[in-house]
Chains A and B, each alone.
Chain A
Amino acid sequence: MNENRNLTPTLLRVGSVITGLLLWHYIANLVINDTAILVSPVVVVTKAYEMLVTTGELYPHLFASSQIFFWGFVLAILVGVPLGFVMALSPLVRDYVNPWMTTLYTAPRIAFAPVLLLWFGIGAGSKIAIVFLGCVFPILINSYYGMRVVNREYVELARSFRLNRWALFGKILLPASIPFILSGIRLAIGRGLTGVAIAEWFGASEGLGYLVFFAGQTLNVPILFVGVAAFALLGIIGFELVRRFEAFVTPWRKA
């Protein structure tokens, strides 16, 4: 009975994926039949295999993109978490920083890309800055929020144990806000990948974003699909990594 109940959703999912792929295959081959518009998933997989195994031409792009992503992301954590904490603990800092933060956060990030390009040139600097700008706000906001909503009882407990400021911070406030920070980091992954794509569209000569845009301009649909799939895969892997880390660092929270 129980087994049966677990089996049906899996069957439905697998069935849905297979049906979708078959539909895609036949629409591409029989209905559209134009490789400049849509190609069958078989062609995409063949192309991916070729780029990964035969020629290996995907690796430089993957490497370039991950490098930009990594530095932008690390910088965002290094700036976002402390700034979020400071803003949570000092209303003065918060009130002065808030209007600028809100403006930068709610504006479509792409608008800043040409300006950053103007300031940092077309090298790695401007690309890292674009990724940074995408990642930093979810991390900052969640750090801020995590520190603000720490359970009052914990703080009172700390007071009654006469913990000093640093111990209060290290033993109560920081651990309590870690789950929030991590969910900010998880949100930042998607935004960071979008940042990579935006950054590499402006004056890059390698990277996944470059690959996708170049393929789009030359109507090379197989490569376009491989690039899009690579982005999706990176997103899923990053998401899963953070989830594992989250379960490891905060075992008291139910997964």
Chain B
Amino acid sequence: MTITRHPIRKEIQRGCISIFAGVALWELLARALLENELLIPPPTSVVRTFWRLTLSGELYKHFQATLIEFTYGFSAACVVGVTLGYLMGRYKWFDDILDPWIATLYSIPVIALVPLIIIWFGIGIISKIVVVFKITLVAIMLNTAAGIKNLDPVWLELAKSLRLNGWETTYKIRFPGALPYIITGMRLGVGRALLAVVVAELMAANAGLGYLLRDSSETWDSPKLFVTVILLAAIGLVSFNLIKRVEQKMAPWRQSAEWSSES
């Protein structure tokens, strides 16, 4: 807009330089200034630990546990969230009934609810699925409702003049119209759900990346801790970008105020 755009290749080039320089600096400083690896392990030792954990299958086991919890909770939330959100968008009275409860649930930090969910659902996999479900549900519900409400009335008139029946209007007009909003809700849900599942695993679990985090920090195993942290960061990055791609494809006209969305 006001600032001239520069070619994307330069951007990537600079990004790579920045990452490379940062890692090199980290390695140098960690080797030169610190005697032991407790505070900041150098990248080489992090990579070595990563390789060791991968070979032993330990990393895979925890990764799989987290992934399963995440997938179950997330898919359940998508189904229930879209349904309830649709009803909220269509019927004002339903919205009014649910609104005070959603507003309350929304303003509670998820982390504060985790102990309660663990009391109710135990320390196994179910409590983590519930945590993921709860967080994703609210985001998807609110966004679906907004999408249904903000539907362009022209489309509804079109549906009327084409004599679509109620079901067809929902299926062919309302749902596709709200889809970009639903995807936005999912994207918001992914980040929070990832955070929450790790918290729940940290608090009480015997597998999962959160458990690994706790295990390595309690045994002062810094390289292992850093492996987990970097892995979690990578998972966050990949899932965020994946959903953003989907979002851009579904609704290229929408400008999102998120990071690295260039004007």
List residues of A whose CB falls within 8 A of some B CB.
8-9, 12-13, 15-17, 20, 36-38, 88-89, 91-92, 95-112, 114-115, 117-119, 137, 141-142, 145, 148-150, 152, 155, 180, 190, 193-194, 196-198, 201, 208-209, 212-213, 215-217, 219, 221, 224-225, 227-228, 231-232, 235-236, 239
Contacts and interface: CB of A to CB of B under 8 A. Distances in A.
Tier of interface size on chain B = 35 or more
A96 B17 contact: yes
A155 B229 contact: no
Give me the 5 closest cross-chain CB pairs, A-B, nearest first: A216-B115, A107-B233, A114-B217, A95-B14, A235-B107
Most buried by A among B99, B120, B233: B233
A148 B116 CA distance: 43
Interface stretch (B47-55, B140-148, B161-169, B220-228): B220-228
B38 interface: yes
8 contacts: A16-B98, A102-B260, A106-B233, A108-B236, A111-B229, A197-B111, A198-B199, A209-B111
Contacts of A96: 14-15, 17-18
Contacts of A108: 191, 194-195, 198, 232, 236
A98 B118 contact: no
B39 A119 contact: yes
Contacts of B228: 111
A110 B210 CA distance: 9
B233 A103 contact: yes
A145 B260 CA distance: 9
A109 B222 contact: no
A176 to B, nearest CB: 11
Interface in B1-46: 1-3, 6, 10-11, 14-15, 17-19, 22, 38-39
Contact of A141 (B22, B239, B257): B257
B253 interface: no
A197 B109 contact: yes
A98 B100 CA distance: 39
A193 B232 contact: no
Contact of B119 (A36, A101, A142, A180): A36
Given A111-B233, A114-B214, A148-B263, 10 more contacts: A17-B101, A96-B14, A96-B15, A108-B195, A110-B198, A111-B229, A114-B213, A208-B112, A209-B111, A231-B108
A102 B11 CA distance: 14
B113 interface: yes
B110 interface: yes
Interface string B194-224: 1100110011000000100110110000100
B interface: dominant SS: helix
Given A96-B14, A108-B236, A118 B217 contact: yes
A110 B100 contact: no
B233 A95 contact: no
Contacts, number: 178
Contacts of B3: 88-89, 91, 148
Given A9-B92, A107-B232, A216-B118, A95 B15 contact: yes
A108 B26 CA distance: 22
A221 B14 CA distance: 53
Contacts of A224: 115-116, 119
B240 A201 contact: no
A216 B257 CA distance: 37
A216 B202 CA distance: 14
A149 B255 CA distance: 11
Most buried by A among B6, B202, B216: B202
B112 A231 contact: yes
B111 A194 contact: yes
A112 B257 contact: no
B246 to A, nearest CB: 15
Contacts of A197: 109, 111-112
Contacts of B10: 95
Nearest to A234: B107
A22 B74 CA distance: 30
Given A12-B97, A13-B100, A16-B100, A37 B111 contact: no
